[in-house]
Amino acid sequence: MISGEAIGRFFDRYKAELATFASLPTLGIGANQIKPDDRFWNIASSGGLLFVVGVICCFFSIRWSVSERSKSDTLTKTVELLESIIRNSKDGYYHHWDLLCRKICQSLNINSNQRVSIYRFDKVENQFFIVARYSPNPNLCRHGRASYPADQGCIGTAWSQGEAFDGRLPNPANATKYHETNSTRWRIPVEVSTKLTMHPQCIFAIALQHDDVRFGVIVFESMPKDSLDPAKLRLEVTRTYGDEISQLYHRLQSIEPSCAYARRQGF
């Protein structure tokens, strides 16, 4: 059995349409019954009465339609405002990580043959997405893949083992050997390796933690062989910037975007 509450909700939702539906027949029937000598305003006339009822229904139909349109416009503007706030919050998320990444690079005197990237792990998709990347060389700042599998590359090893280091990758001038080594040593498919935006010969990655729980990985890459010092980088990440990295992660959790959002935005 339909409850009175359900009927009330139905009327509130469709009152403009119901008023329009009621006005059409009453206006038509009323106008048809009015005789030439009837006065429209004389409610004693059945035709005049129906016509007046039809006019009233038409009036409320127009009024409610305008009101609903105004509510719809207000709702649309509210949704657009909220979307803008969320979008700006997520953009701010990347901005904060970018600032920290630059700060670390400046502290380590990262040169134009090197770069630093910070990745956040997405538990839902079991993949990493990049949140920051910096190098004095603009060509090395470009983002490549939107997401990174958790079982590939130095990123995957650092995620599972705590850190990963390879100081003697082959010269990328020998493309075949370089990509095959990446495939066998780091489980990066050849078709993926060929599309990387940088082909370093030296790479160090270390997991990032908050309250002893891993949430991401920071990766240092350098073009020449044996050009990174793992001990120095480890100290920089865990001691010098350990607390700052942990606090930033904690502070930004409420506005953290998903891996899917990162892909849509090209990160």
Domain boundaries, the chain: 4-80, 109-265
Identify the pLDDT of residue 107: 93
Q: What is the pLDDT of residue 89?
A: 45
Average pLDDT for consecutive 10-residue bins of the chain (267 residues)?
57 53 50 50 50 58 60 53 45 86 94 96 92 95 87 95 97 96 96 94 97 95 97 94 92 72 52
Q: What pLDDT sits at residue 267? A: 47
What six digits make up the tokens of 34? 């009015």
What does the pLDDT read at residue 260?
A: 52
pLDDT given at position 144: 81
Is the Cβ–Cβ distance between 170 and 219 less than 8 Å? no
Residues in Cβ contact with 232 at an 8 Å cutoff, skipping those fewer than 6 apart: 108
Instruction: Tell me the CATH number for domain 109-265.
Output: 3.30.450.40
CA-CA distances (angstroms) from residue 78 to 85, 89, 132?
11, 16, 31
pLDDT value at residue 262: 52
pLDDT of residue 49: 53
